[in-house]
């Protein structure tokens, strides 16, 4: 069994939203260059295969799929933030396919865990709407693939600095897919309030913690310890998926958080340990945002080392008053669904 599968493809470098757009091909190029320069044993690289229409249809409406297909071969603005180049559609279909492929490999036991190094990212894409640099929702499509393959409960943890409105929308009324997000709040895309907990049978299965800008590794540590991990353990996932954005990095130009490489290493270690305790280590990370090229590539490298079992990181102690208050609001909103939070 391979320890850590890295799924990527040269086509991901050909999605070009335009000069000066932060979601540039240079992001992935930097990540791949560092992995090349400082290789990590226990990892294996595979090229990706495209998603099928059927796989895309598990999350996205016929209207959106037809609209996006119509962008193939064209420069187009989906919204002011989201633009395409001629190869963008094919790259997006391949990014979704790579995400399904990673789930296949991990559920089949051919690989212990995986990191999908793809772009465009996906977590802002709603079932019927592409937005926020995202065309298809890769992590949602991956979760649906896992469900169809017999995983009864799938956890999606989203540590991108922006709230994953698209993923939340896809599973809002569902209890088989638990969505947890920590993000800067209030901030783009303005969703992710603590009282957004899901509806109907999905009530309690959306867990949001919005933190003020300036939050640190230690603040994130408190959210994992006192909110995400207790709920995740009670949920008992069969597979853990991570929307791994790196834009909470302290130098990121698009947000105001203060995370370091150690913080990302600690979040990844927490998820690896959770997966080991609950589901035989089955864990898939998917690249979302992250726009400080040096910090992005270093932090991804750190996470791959964690996945490959080469390092472990822990969160520093201590939590700010503001982060503790945000944590308390989320715990209050969710404790009726998760007795473990009432203790
Ligand atoms: Zn982001």
Across the chain, which has 343 residues, the per-10-residue mean pLDDT values are 97 96 98 98 97 98 98 96 97 98 98 98 98 98 98 99 99 99 98 98 98 98 98 98 98 98 98 98 98 98 98 97 98 98 87
* Cα 188 to middle of ligand 1, angstroms: 9
* Cα 323 to middle of ligand 1, angstroms: 19
* Cα 245 to middle of ligand 1, angstroms: 6
Structure tokens given for 259: 């995370």
pLDDT at 253: 98
pLDDT at 343: 74
* Cα 187 to middle of ligand 1, angstroms: 10
* Cα 339 to middle of ligand 1, angstroms: 31
Confidence (pTM) = 0.99
* Cα 289 to middle of ligand 1, angstroms: 4
Task: List own/partner pairs for 183-187 with CB under 8 A and 24 or more apart.
Answer: 183/158, 183/208, 183/209, 183/210, 183/211, 184/210, 184/211, 184/212, 184/213, 184/215, 184/248, 184/255, 184/256, 184/257, 185/210, 185/211, 185/212, 185/326, 186/210, 187/161, 187/162, 187/163, 187/213, 187/255
Integer Cα distance of 224 and 212 in angstroms: 16
Integer Cα distance of 199 and 179 in angstroms: 13
Q: Please tell me the CATH code under which domain 2-341 is placed.
A: 3.40.800.20
Q: 30, 123, 124, 301: which is the annotated catalytic residue?
A: 124
Give the residue ranges of DSSP H helices in the chain.
25-37, 53-57, 62-69, 88-107, 138-148, 165-170, 217-223, 229-235, 261-279, 293-307, 321-334
Q: How far is CA 220 from CA 69, 109, 205, 212, in A?
A: 39, 31, 20, 11
* Cα 247 to middle of ligand 1, angstroms: 6
Per-domain residue ranges for the chain?
Answer: 2-341
φ, ψ (nearest 5 deg) of residue 116 = -90, 110
Beta strands in 151-238 (DSSP E): 154-158, 177-184, 206-211
Q: Is 301 labeled as catalytic in the residue annotation?
A: no
């Amino acid at each position: 069994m391979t320890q850590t599968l890295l799924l990527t493809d040269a086509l991901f470098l050909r999605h070009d939203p335009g000069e000066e757009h932060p979601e540039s091909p240079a992001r992935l190029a930097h990540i791949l260059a560092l992995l090349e320069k400082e290789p990590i044993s226990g990892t294996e690289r595979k090229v990706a295969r495209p998603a099928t229409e059927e796989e895309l249809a598990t999350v996205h409406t016929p209207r959106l799929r037809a609209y996006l297909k119509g962008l193939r071969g064209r420069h187009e603005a989906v919204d002011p933030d989201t633009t395409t180049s001629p190869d963008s559609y094919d790259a997006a279909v391949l990014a979704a396919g790579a995400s399904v492929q990673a789930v296949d490999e991990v559920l089949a036991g051919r690989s212990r865990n995986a990191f999908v190094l793809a772009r465009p990212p996906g977590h802002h894409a709603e079932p019927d709407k592409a937005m926020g640099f995202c065309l298809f929702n890769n992590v949602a499509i991956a979760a649906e693939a896992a469900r169809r393959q017999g995983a009864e409960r799938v956890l999606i943890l989203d540590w991108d600095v922006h709230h994953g409105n698209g993923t939340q929308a896809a599973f809002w009324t569902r209890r088989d897919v638990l969505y947890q997000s920590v993000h800067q709040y209030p901030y783009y895309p303005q969703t992710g309030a603590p009282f957004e907990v899901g509806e109907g049978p999905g009530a309690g299965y959306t867990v949001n913690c919005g933190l003020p800008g300036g939050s640190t590794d230690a603040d994130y540590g408190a959210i994992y310890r006192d909110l995400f991990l207790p709920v995740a353990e009670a949920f008992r996932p069969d597979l853990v998926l991570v929307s791994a954005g790196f834009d909470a990095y302290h130098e990121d130009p698009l947000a105001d958080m203060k995370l370091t490489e150690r913080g990302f290493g600690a979040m990844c270690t927490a998820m690896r340990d959770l997966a080991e305790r609950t589901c035989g280590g089955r864990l898939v990370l998917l690249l979302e945002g992250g726009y400080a090229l040096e910090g992005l590539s270093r932090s991804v490298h750190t996470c791959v080392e964690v996945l490959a079992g080469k390092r472990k990181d822990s969160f520093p102690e201590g939590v700010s008053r503001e982060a503790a208050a945000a944590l308390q609001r989320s715990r209050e909103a969710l404790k009726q669904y998760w007795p473990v939070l009432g203790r």
